[in-house]
Amino acid sequence: MSQAATIGALARRMGVQPSAVRFYERQGLIAPERLANAYRVYGREAVNALGFICRAKSLGFSLDQIREILEIRRRDAEPCQRVRSLVERNLKEVERKIAELIRLRRELKGLAGRAAPSSAPAGVCPIIESPSPKA
């Protein structure tokens, strides 16, 4: 995209909704130029920033983390050291979540194997309410 793009063209190119582009603009993550008729147009810097935002989000970076990285870059500094630190922190969080999901899967498998009560339960449902046997 060598010349400035409208919001619709930019959104289509990046595979996002125009509302997402506006949201990132409101968040200060991308900045359009304004034409005389007040239409937004997005130049190379905005296109690059939106591409970065989309990729970073797909890797699980938060908007605050993305903002921080973009601000470092806009100060003409190299953000890669900070990105590495964030990647390591995010990886630890993903590993924690995976461990929690493995525990949850084990517990749900145990619940799925429980027999339904033959009489009306006193509570809502004893499959969930009764404690799981320790494995």
Report the CATH number at residue 97: 1.10.1660.10
Q: How many domains does the chain have?
A: 1
77-128 residue pLDDT tens: 999 999 999 999 999 999 999 999 999 999 999 888 887 777 766 777 877 7
The answer to whether residue 120 is domain-embedded is no
Instruction: Give Cβ neighbours of residue 11 (< 8 Å, ≥ 6 apart).
Output: 17, 18, 20, 21
- How high does pLDDT run on average in the chain? 89
Domain span holding position 96: 5-113
pTM comes to 0.77
